[in-house]
Amino acid sequence: MALRNSRIVGLGKHLPAKVVTNADLTRVMETSDEWIQQRTGIRERRYIDQDTGAAELGAAAAREALDRAGLRADQMDLILFATLSPDYDFPASACVMSRLLGVRGRAAFDVRNQCSGFVYGLAIADRFVKTGRAQRVLLVGGEVHSTGIDLSTRGRDVAVIFGDGAAAAVIAAEPDPSRGILSTHLHAQGKYAEKLWLEAAASRSRPRLSPDMLEGAKPRIFPYMDGKYVFKHAVTRFPEVILEALSANGCTVKDLDLLIPHQANLRINQMVAMGLELREEQMFNNIDRYGNTTAASIPLALYEAVEAGRVREGALVCLAAFGAGFTWASALIRW
Ligand code: COA
């Protein structure tokens, strides 16, 4: 059977209404708007203001993506949910979201690859469609960080960066081999697992959760990040994986219409742009308004780039991610 391509046929997003500015954070921790903006480019982020799980945010984004694709949830052959903040340890948020969408009996699973989760999910969706195992796939990136970060001076280095949100893509078969997802490139290196991680509660500890995990200078129930280390690796891996995607398709940086990098830190993205000698119009960023929404950040930026008219039909678009694991990944798309 001849392989076919897959293509994104609908996008959706959902952000909680509550806006948390840098000034708001100065009320709960010692920080400043200037420090946050200078180091990260973030001005504000969104937090849920009531008990809402990642699946609920994801379902709202999915409904919009399905609407825009002119499809129903029960027409999806596969449902993927990329997240590092699932509603529960188990079952998967993909299952919880399927229930919210009223879908029964479809394959559904989570992709637990943090900031690279959406691109990993896109690679899975693409393979399912390419090999004829699925006609249509729903891929969601959704995160609720605000309930899991240390919103005090102790946790400020990590807490100021992250925000809640979700975005979704519907992926469908594309008969034209020159259109759609041209290739995906996935990498991981577990050597640095503890440079960016959430240690507890976890199966390695007996009991999995104990009072000492809540104590100390860096309580183990909150995410830990060696910020400088992560920064250094990110600015190397991003250009590598972007060039890998371009060269796999016989393209160069000059052919690229738009790069949508993961929104971890504006300074990382600016260094990547400088290294690759990208023109300003070749990169899209929206971290200033949402912070780092991990698995949701790339589809959220893609959605807004399309809305802003930055992705025209036929445009060459590269998605690129780097995150915990470490994992890094890219996808090249002919829109
Ligand atoms: N507000 C004010 N001061 C803060 C702060 C905050 N939110 N967080 C940390 N600081 C302080 C530190 O305590 C330190 O003070 P000291 O010099 O008195 O010890 C000082 O600011 C510098 O901290 P440092 O950690 O060296 O800052 P940095 O320049 O490395 O910037 C990050 C920190 C997190 C912004 C940066 O390392 C980064 O962006 N890393 C990559 C993050 C990332 O991409 N994560 C997601 C991966 S996908």
Query: Which of 100, 90, 91, 95 has its CA nearest to residue 61?
Result: 100
10-residue averages of pLDDT along the chain (335 residues)? 86 98 98 98 96 97 98 98 98 98 97 98 98 97 98 98 98 95 98 97 94 94 97 98 98 98 98 98 98 98 98 98 98 98
Same domain, 130 and 242: no
Tell me if 92 sits within 8 A of 109, measured CB to CB: yes
**The domain boundary residue, chosen from 155, 177, 199:** 177
Contacts of 118 (CB under 8 A, 6+ apart): 82, 111, 139, 141, 295, 296, 297, 298, 299, 319, 321
**Residues 87 and 156 occupy one common structural domain:** yes
Question: Which of 321, 304, 328 minimizes the C-alpha distance to 263?
Answer: 321
Of 14, 262, 285, 318, the catalytic one is 262
Q: Are residues 131 and 272 in the same domain?
A: no
Neighbour tally for 37: CB within 10 Å: 14
Q: What is the pLDDT of residue 224?
A: 97
My answer on whether 190 and 156 are in the same domain is no
Choosing from 142, 177, 212, the residue where a domain stops is 177
> Are 191 and 301 in a shared domain?
yes
3-class secondary-structure state, position 321: strand
Are residue 137 and residue 267 in the same domain, yes or no?
A: no
251 in active site: no
**115 flagged as catalytic:** yes
**How many Å separate Cα 228 from the centre of its chain?**
21
**Boundary-marking domain end, from 128, 154, 177:** 177
Boundaries of domain holding 92: 5-177
Catalytic annotation present for 185: no
Q: Are residues 30 and 162 in the same domain?
A: yes
Number of separate domains in the chain = 2
pTM for the complete prediction? 0.97
The pocket around ligand 1, CB under 6 angstroms, is made up of 31, 35-36, 39-40, 115, 156-157, 160, 196, 225, 227-228, 230-231, 234, 264-265, 268, 292, 322-323
CATH value at residue 270? 3.40.47.10
**Residues 214, 86 share a domain:** no
Measured N-to-C along each axis, helices 297-307 and 117-130 cross at an angle, to the nearest 10 degrees, of: 80
113 with 261, same domain: the answer is: no
* DSSP SS3 for 169: strand
**Shared domain check, 227 and 146:** no
